[in-house]
Amino acid sequence: MSSNGANNGQGGGGQLTGSTPQRSLASVAQAVAPSYQINIGDVVAVSVYQEADLTTTARVGEGGVIAFPLLGNVKISGLSIGEATQTITARLKDGFLVSPMVSLVLVEQQRQKFTLMGQVQRPGQYELPPSGSMSLMEAIGLAGGFTRIARASRITVQRGTGPALEVDGNEQASGKARTIFKVLAGDVITIKESFF
């Protein structure tokens, strides 16, 4: 099978290699939780059983897509590994292959970060774990915990361009909160000073 002209989509993810041997994909794959969602900047390796021309390694581009042989741009950001595999499988079934067996693995994870500001011991930027999220108390623990004058009861979290979220850190720490607040990539967390 030939894949000539397969990567002619504009604005897609960068193709890193065209023929990475299938047996080598497992050796570079990163273990991630089943719920992990593919992010822009991640590098994935895709292979199709008995279709060497369709083996490719690509970085997810700004549009959330990778350039894939035969298919052009395929959007996979925001999908789990399983969902992305199903998406490529369905596209290949649509006029190309009768029963494709697709394997997709994460080769390199784009580092996801959040920022802690204000009354913590070590303000700054921190990396999220491979799962893509962590609890607010775990995040504050990374920064050495609250300072002596922190106002833990009113923590603000700026997420994207929406209004700031307000979280009661004391409630989160006590274990009595209805839900555990999860920190996500790009969050800016501010712990203000107490008023005595």
Residues 6 or more apart from 87 whose CB is under 8 A from it? 74, 75, 76, 79
**Domains in the chain, start-ordered, CATH in brackets?**
15-108 (3.30.1950.10), 113-193 (3.10.560.10)
pLDDT at 180: 93
Q: How far, in Å, CA of 168 to CA of 22, rounded?
A: 49
Model confidence pLDDT, tens digit, residues 67-83 = 999 999 999 998 999 99
pLDDT digits (tens, 9 = 90+) for 9-31: 344 566 554 444 444 444 455 66
Q: 15: Cβ–Cβ under 8 A, 6 or more apart, which residues?
A: 7, 56, 57, 58, 66, 67
How far is it, in rounded angstroms, from Cα 73 to Cα 118?
Answer: 43
Q: Are 53 and 5 in contact (CB under 8 A)?
A: no
Tell me the mean pLDDT in the region 84-103.
94
User: Is the pLDDT higher at 13 or at 88?
Assistant: 88
What pLDDT, on a 0 to 100 scale, did the predictor assign at position 133? 79
Count of CB atoms within 10 A of residue 104's CB?
24
pLDDT at 14: 60
3-state secondary structure of 49: coil
Return the number of other C-beta atoms located less than 10 Å from residue 187's C-beta. 21
Q: What are residue 124's DSSP bridge partners?
A: 116
Across the chain, what does the average pLDDT equal? 84
**3 state DSSP class of 45:** strand
User: What average pLDDT does the segment 89-98 reach?
Assistant: 93
Find out whether 135 and 184 touch, Cβ atoms under 8 Å: no
pTM: 0.56
